[in-house]
Chain A
């Protein structure tokens, strides 16, 4: 097991895990996390191929992966902005009130940050189908 094989296999595993989650159609945010995991797997596979050279790695995959990391960030940000826009449209459609960009739903608003954190998974799933 040299470094190349270890990380190439890890890349394959990460790609498959992410792919499974994307195909299972989770919520938008989870899908973006899964796509990021897939992307990390791809880059890991690619850069581990560059590591097969005996004296010093091949710089071409490094350069491509470098821009890949930055482009993944940009794509994630664009995806999240789209998800937020969609979310606001849905909230408007279902009678929620949009105020200064923050959506007021049926529930009272406390500190939103803390709410997102402390919500249990069961709670999230229970309200999913409305």
Chain B
């Protein structure tokens, strides 16, 4: 019962973080602040949802798989964020040859 409550709390908090990250994408003015909002908020949101689901898991194997999902998503998300920011920086420094 306590476990269910904790799960519910973690998943709800995770969803809230996802929503705020999405709001950031929609409302923030430039690539860098959007990326910041997205990767930070979604990273935390995913972590909380994984935590909430892990509390409901019936076996250690399921918890391991959930943890693997979280690790891989966190790694690839931050790498993609770095690549996009890097690319945007290159683009911003390049002289504009078009109107």
Contacts and interface: CB of A to CB of B under 8 A. Distances in A.
A and B touch in the complex (CB under 8 A): yes
Interface of A: 108, 110-111, 114
Interface in B50-99: 87, 90-91, 94, 97
Interface of B: 87, 90-91, 94, 97
A111 B94 contact: yes
B97 A114 contact: no
Contacts of B87: 114
Contacts of B90: 111
8 contacts: A108-B97, A110-B94, A110-B97, A111-B90, A111-B91, A111-B94, A114-B87, A114-B91
A110 B93 CA distance: 13
Contacts of B97: 108, 110
A89 to B, nearest CB: 27
Contacts, number: 8
Contacts of B94: 110-111
* Cβ-closest 8 pairs across A and B: A114-B91, A108-B97, A110-B97, A110-B94, A111-B94, A111-B91, A114-B87, A111-B90
A114 B97 CA distance: 13
Nearest to B96: A110
Contacts of B91: 111, 114
Contacts of A111: 90-91, 94
A114 B84 CA distance: 11
Contacts of A110: 94, 97
B70 to A, nearest CB: 27
A108 B87 CA distance: 20
B80 to A, nearest CB: 15
Nearest to A114: B91
A95 B97 CA distance: 23
Contacts of A114: 87, 91
A54 B77 CA distance: 39
